[in-house]
């Protein structure tokens, strides 16, 4: 039985408790805006009713990892008051701590502006956690006017991200931040 996109449903299990499972259907690939609208709808359904920062970050990273083509890393760094610290992610092991003065993540956090980098080798101070990464997009996350962290996505394809990806990723971040509100 096919379920509507982004639906959580109960499935019987061998235990006495049913399992809640999320099923993400295929997204349109002919238009990036349509793709991201669909992905944002799936993210809303996946995060609905949960307010835990780590749980929602983990699920969003997994959803993006499974859905967005041509990426090799997707995840969060959270601001601890001094630096960015690795949070939930999908991809190869990553740098654990990033100063606000270093790399694409530090630039997004300190400047408060999404960083869209078509060629990471041309970005002064780029931190190479995965040598295969060639393009990167990092969205700063602010909650109640305070820096929460950054959302970071890498690709092995130079020029992989464009303005449509920026708009789409910023939309996904709004869904994530909205999920934290009680």
Average pLDDT score over residue span 7-18? 51
Task: Provide the 3-class DSSP secondary structure of residue 148.
Answer: strand
Q: How many C-beta neighbours within 10 Å does residue 85 have?
A: 15
> What per-residue confidence (pLDDT) applies to 3?
45
Reported as a single tens digit per residue, the pLDDT across 48-57 is 999 999 999 9
Residue 138 CB burial class (10 angstroms; 0-12, 13-18, ≥19): buried
Per-residue confidence (pLDDT) for residue 2, from 0 to 100: 45
Taken in order 37, 30, 137, 22, the sign of the CA dihedral is: positive
Among the residue ranges 22-36, 109-123, 149-163, the one predicted with the least confidence is 22-36
pLDDT of residue 129: 78
Give pLDDT, residue 130.
81
The mean pLDDT value for 138-147 works out to 97
Per-residue confidence (pLDDT) for residue 6, from 0 to 100: 57
Q: Residue 167 is encoded by which pair of tokens?
A: 């708009």
What does pTM read for this prediction?
A: 0.88
What domains sit in the chain, N to C, each tagged with a CATH number? Answer: 32-180 (3.30.450.40)
CA dihedral 2, 28, 132, 121 (to 10 degrees): -150
pLDDT of 102-120, one tens digit each?
A: 999 999 999 999 999 999 9
pLDDT mean over 142-158: 97
């Amino acid at each position: 039985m096919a379920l509507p996109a982004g639906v959580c449903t109960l499935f019987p299990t061998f235990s006495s408790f049913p399992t809640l499972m999320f099923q993400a259907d295929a997204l349109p690939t002919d238009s990036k805006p349509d793709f991201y609208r669909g992905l944002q709808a799936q993210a809303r359904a996946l995060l609905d009713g949960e307010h835990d920062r780590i749980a929602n970050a983990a699920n969003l990273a997994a959803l993006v990892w499974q859905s967005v083509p041509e990426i090799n890393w997707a995840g969060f760094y959270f601001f601890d008051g001094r630096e960015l610290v690795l949070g939930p992610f999908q991809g190869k092991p990553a740098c654990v701590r990033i100063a606000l003065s270093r790399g694409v993540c530090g630039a997004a956090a300190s400047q408060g502006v999404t960083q869209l980098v078509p060629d990471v080798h041309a970005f002064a101070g780029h931190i190479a956690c995965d040598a295969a990464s060639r393009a990167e997009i990092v969205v700063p996350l602010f909650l109640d006017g305070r820096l929460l962290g950054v959302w970071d996505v890498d690709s092995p394809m130079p020029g992989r991200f464009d303005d449509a990806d920026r708009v789409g990723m910023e939309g996904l971040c709004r869904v994530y931040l909205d999920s934290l509100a009680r």
